[in-house]
């Protein structure tokens, strides 16, 4: 899932300070699951902003709505009337949601209420951990299902580096060494001998450095 967390309240208030009527728009998918921008968080954010406005003597109106997915226009169209009725939208979706709103409603001012953090998963109650950087050229098969791009602080394809110590990364004692994780998995699978092969450079051209990436499926186009 896409994992995000809410921006500090002061930053949110700064962004929307020029506007009198704001729609707080949640997303019912990833950011609902990670408790950052679903219906409940929209309600809490609206109450908080109303109280903050009342305390500071500002007259503001906050509308609330949550769509199933902000990243698809067909769901955004369901709140088109509300969007048209406000001065700005505060999105509690991920960065894709914010951009989908901006592209669907070019004349609407839209602001992010979240920082989009990473692609990850919950590993315990209240803890999410990064697992994928969407590099476009997945090498998990070579590394026993542990991503060296995300789990190693240096994204090493041939590791570990000299900073690995007692299973933790030199970056922080709180960060497991990604290459220790890879080693442990390969050991369980009886595949440690694969570490003797040098992994060639990865095709980074499929990744973020290329700029605007798209996938075109001709068989699905109408």
Asked if 179 is part of the footprint of ligand SF4 (rule: CB under 6 A), the reply reads: yes
187 to 206, contacts with ligand SF4 by CB under 6 A?
none
Angle at the Cα of 48 from the Cα atoms of 44 and 53, rounded to 5 degrees: 150
Of these, 140, 188, 189, 191, which contacts ligand SF4 (CB under 6 A)?
Answer: 140
Asked if 130 is part of the footprint of ligand SF4 (rule: CB under 6 A), the reply reads: no
Report which of 93, 87, 89, 101 is spatially closest to residue 64, judged by C-alpha positions: 89
Asked if 159 is part of the footprint of ligand SF4 (rule: CB under 6 A), the reply reads: yes
Asked if 135 is part of the footprint of ligand SF4 (rule: CB under 6 A), the reply reads: yes
Assigned token pair, 63: 């509308």
Asked if 156 is part of the footprint of ligand SF4 (rule: CB under 6 A), the reply reads: yes
- State the nearest-atom distance from the C-beta of 37 to ligand SF4, in Å: 23
Of these, 42, 177, 183, 186, which contacts ligand SF4 (CB under 6 A)?
Answer: 177
Asked if 147 is part of the footprint of ligand SF4 (rule: CB under 6 A), the reply reads: yes
Please tell me the distance from the alpha carbon of residue 130 to that of residue 122, in angstroms, as a whole number: 9
Asked if 154 is part of the footprint of ligand SF4 (rule: CB under 6 A), the reply reads: yes
Asked if 169 is part of the footprint of ligand SF4 (rule: CB under 6 A), the reply reads: yes
Asked if 152 is part of the footprint of ligand SF4 (rule: CB under 6 A), the reply reads: yes
175 torsion bin: left (phi>0), alpha (psi -120 to 50), beta (else) = beta
Tokens 């991920």, residue? 94
The answer to whether the CB of 19 falls within 8 A of the CB of 110 is no
Count of residues binding ligand SF4 (CB under 6 A)? 25
Asked if 139 is part of the footprint of ligand SF4 (rule: CB under 6 A), the reply reads: yes
Report which of 112, 29, 32 is spatially closest to residue 69, judged by C-alpha positions: 29
Asked if 92 is part of the footprint of ligand SF4 (rule: CB under 6 A), the reply reads: no
Peptide bond into 160 cis (omega under 30): yes
Distances (CA, A) of 143 to 73, 148, 181, 191: 37, 7, 10, 10
| Binding footprint of ligand SF4 on the chain (CB under 6 A) | 132-135, 138-140, 147, 149-150, 152-154, 156, 159-161, 163-164, 169-171, 177-179
């Amino acid at each position: 899932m896409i994992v995000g967390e809410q921006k500090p309240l002061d930053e949110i208030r700064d962004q929307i300070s020029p506007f009198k009527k704001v729609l707080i728009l949640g997303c019912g998918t990833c950011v609902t699951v990670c408790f950052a921008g679903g219906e409940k968080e929209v309600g809490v954010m609206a109450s908080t902003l109303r109280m903050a406005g009342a305390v500071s003597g500002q007259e503001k109106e906050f509308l609330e709505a949550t769509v199933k997915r902000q990243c698809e226009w067909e769901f955004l169209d369901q709140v088109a009337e509300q969007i048209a009725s406000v001065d700005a939208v505060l999105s509690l979706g991920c960065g894709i949601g914010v951009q989908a709103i901006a592209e669907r409603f070019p004349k609407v001012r839209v602001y992010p209420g979240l920082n989009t953090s990473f692609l990850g998963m919950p590993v315990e109650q209240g803890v999410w951990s990064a697992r994928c950087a969407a590099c476009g050229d997945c090498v998990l098969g070579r590394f026993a299902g542990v991503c060296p791009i995300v789990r190693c602080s240096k994204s090493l394809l041939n590791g570990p580096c000299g900073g690995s110590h007692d299973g933790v990364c030199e970056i922080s004692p709180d960060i497991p060494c990604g290459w220790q994780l890879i080693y442990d998995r390969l050991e369980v699978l009886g595949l440690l001998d694969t570490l003797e092969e040098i992994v060639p450079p990865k095709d980074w051209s499929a990744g973020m450095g290329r700029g605007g990436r798209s996938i075109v499926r001709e068989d699905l186009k109408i």
